Amino acid sequence: MKAAVWTAYGPPEVLQLQEVPTPVPRAGEILIRIQATTVTAGDCEMRTLQLPLSLGLPMRFYTGLRKPQRIRILGQELAGVVAAVGQGVLQFDMGDRVFAATGFGLGAYAEYICLPADDKEVPVATMPVNLSFAEAAAVPVGGLEALHFLRGANIQPGEEVLINGAGGSIGTMGVQLARAYEAEVTAVDHPAKLDMLRALGAKHVIDYTQEDFTRSGRRYDVIFDVVGKSDYGRSVTALRENGRYLVANPSYSGMLRGLLTSRGSSKSVHTATGAQTTADLLYLKQLIEAGTLRPVIDRTYPLAQVAEAHRYVETGRKAGNVVLMVA
Say which DSSP state 103 is in: G
Average pLDDT over residues 103-107: 92
Minimal CA–CA distance to 168: which of 319, 10, 21? 319
Instruction: For residue range 270-323, list pLDDT tens digits in order.
Output: 887 778 899 999 999 999 999 999 999 999 999 999 999 999 999 999 999 999
Dmax over CA atoms of the chain, in Å, equals 60
Q: For residues 243-267, b (16+ Cβ closer than 10 Å) or e, as one string?
A: bbbbbbbbeeebeebbeebbeeeeb
Residue 299 burial by Cβ neighbours in a 10 Å radius (0-12, 13-18, 19+) = middle
User: Over pLDDT 70: what percentage of the chain?
Assistant: 97
Higher pLDDT, 146 or 232: 146
Average pLDDT over residues 26-36: 97
State residue 106's pLDDT score: 96
Average pLDDT over residues 236-249: 93
| CA distance to 1, 198, 242, 257, per residue, from 175 (Å) | 38, 9, 21, 26
pLDDT at 251 over 90: no
DSSP assignment of 260-298 equals HHHHHSS-EEE-------HHHHHHHHHHHHTTS----EE
Instruction: For residue range 58-104, list pLDDT tens digits in order.
Output: 888 888 888 999 999 999 999 999 999 999 999 999 999 999 999 88
Q: Which positions ≥6 away from 279 have C-beta within 8 Å?
A: none
Helix (H) or strand (E) holding 133: helix 133-137
Q: For residues 42-77, b (16+ Cβ closer than 10 Å) or e, as one string?
A: bbbbbbbbeeeeeeeeeebeebbeeebeebbbbbbb
What domains can be seen in the chain, in order of their start residue? 2-139+295-325 (3.90.180.10), 141-270 (3.40.50.720)
CA distance 223 to 160: 9
Least confident window among 7-21, 117-131, 159-173:
117-131
pLDDT at 262 over 90: no
CA distance 96 to 126: 7
pLDDT at 121 over 80: no
pLDDT at 135 over 80: yes
Whole-model pTM? 0.94
Helix (H) or strand (E) holding 31: strand 29-39
Higher pLDDT, 131 or 62: 131
> Sign (positive/negative) of CA torsion 126, 197, 227, 267?
negative
